[in-house]
Amino acid sequence: MKSLRLFGPGDLRLVDEAPPVPGPGDELVRVAAVGICGSDLHWLAEAGIGDALLSRPLVLGHEAGGVVESGPRRGQRVAIDPAIGCEECEQCLAGHVHLCLKIRFAGHGATDGALRELVAWPGRCLIPVPDSLSDADVAMLEPLGVALHAVRLAQIRPGERVGVFGCGPIGQFLIQLARASGATTIVATDVLPHRVAAAREAGATVATLVAGGSERGELLAATGGHGVDVAFEAAGEDDAVETSVALAASAGTVVIVGIPSQDHTTFTASTARRKGLTIKLSRRMNRVYPEAIRLVEAGFVDVRSVVTASHSLSEYRTAFDSAAAREGLKVVVRP
């Protein structure tokens, strides 16, 4: 079968290798669609992300879905939950699988991801999906799940004001979910004009380009001078964190969703302290696939709106170049 492996910074290679052999509890899945995530781009550019470094040639890709190839569920279309918890530690038993200290995650560390034709994956991490969802829709359930987890941490209440700073795919989903949660004012920023335009389409009340901080006055005015009750940082940049802190109202909440390339985040401590802000860091997602599927089926979230390009596995260079250039929103690869 064909697999796309990362051998070093910028060194992706399409290789032939034997299909994976399912272990106990595993099922073999033929991969149908994989989204390229910003974290995949970190791996490609830096051969690592945060404190995780490339230790061997790695298959990237964790936003994925496919069709079960063998066993009693043969032919079942599924979403692939990329996180495999140990199910034994204190965090797993408490329901926080995403915080498991022994977690294995697709396309991260020593665990191969989904940018290949076949994967062997624990059956408990394969979630059946309805036929109303396309293959690309199924792949988008993972970034939607990340946004849904962050919204749950934020505990948005109807009538509140929300800010989303960073309008890539996850930012777009945060805007849609904030609107579905009853937010009456949603302000948003990004460095790219087409993402600002997409934010308006997704439901942002006011969306504007980042302008070195000068845009914050316009956004504050859009909230009636009150600021936002909840701010989501979804860019992985200190400027977006600073905007979140600056725009958050007193006693507001800031949820940091983005992953910084240098593994450090800074903001003005005095501003956050004087406002008495609650700052939460969102890690991936936690068992949200059933809810994500229902939100899509009910029409509360439009996952198709973020998919702007699709490529075959053999076109991986074009796919990754497009994703790295941030030409659209989401690039999907179809192994």
Tell whether 290 is covered by a domain.
Answer: no
pLDDT of amino acid 52: 87
Mean pLDDT of the chain: 96
pLDDT of amino acid 234: 98
**Judgement on whether residues 134 and 158 belong to the same structural domain of the protein:** no
Overall domain count for the chain: 2
**Judgement on whether residues 103 and 188 belong to the same structural domain of the protein:** no
pTM: 0.96
pLDDT of amino acid 179: 98
Q: What is the pLDDT of residues 54-80, one digit of tens each?
A: 999 999 999 999 999 988 999 999 999
| Domain hosting residue 114, numbered range | 2-139+302-334
**Judgement on whether residues 189 and 236 belong to the same structural domain of the protein:** yes
**Judgement on whether residues 135 and 193 belong to the same structural domain of the protein:** no
pLDDT of amino acid 93: 93
In which residue ranges of the chain is pLDDT below 50?
none
219 burial via Cβ count (<10 Å: 0-12, 13-18, 19+): buried
pLDDT of amino acid 70: 85
**Judgement on whether residues 205 and 273 belong to the same structural domain of the protein:** yes
Q: Specify the residue for token string 């920023």.
A: 189
CATH number at residue 69: 3.90.180.10
pLDDT of amino acid 208: 98
Tell whether 292 is covered by a domain.
Answer: no
Q: Residue 21 and residue 118: Cα distance in Å, rounded?
A: 10
CATH number at residue 194: 3.40.50.720
Tell whether 233 is covered by a domain.
Answer: yes
Q: Can you give the length of the chain in residues?
A: 335
